[in-house]
Structure 1
């Protein structure tokens, strides 16, 4: 697989197949969870979404942390 095709891959598919070889952007998170990007920013502001971090003026998400957050949310939903 070429680098160009990995860069433009569907982030939902790469997360299911394993960890992508890059940090995720707010656009990736919005696409993955099929929510508006503004929702992703609100999750971050309220500290209820996947943990992100700043790189200069940009927000990035570690795919492993996103996967852990999804697992945590799934466990809470299953317990309810």
Structure 2
């Protein structure tokens, strides 16, 4: 039996990318402080504590980002 690495497909047929808060902030072009303020207010993307590290799945990030769309009026 082989151990599954980050680059092998999962049982669901895809590999989810894990992002750091710094990567999220770089992509959104926001200060890290904003990300952590969102966490306190439960307003940001769903995050997971893995050991002492905070990670956000790309799937969860994209789903959260879709909810922030400003409707055209």
TM-score (normalised: structure 2): 0.72
RMSD: 2.0
Counterpart contact for 2:16–2:59, Cα < 8 Å = no
- TM-score with structure 1 length normalisation? 0.66
**More RCO (CA 8 Å, sep 6+):** 2
Superposition map of 1:2-13 within 5 A: none
The unaligned stretches of length 5 or more in structure 2 are 1-13
Question: In terms of Rg, which structure is larger?
Answer: 2
List alignment gaps of at least 5 residues for structure 1.
Answer: 1-18
Tell me the equivalent position of 1:27: 22
Secondary structure, counterpart of 2:71 in structure 1: helix
Contact conserved, 2:21 with 2:32, CA < 8 A, in 1? Answer: yes
Aligned residues: 60
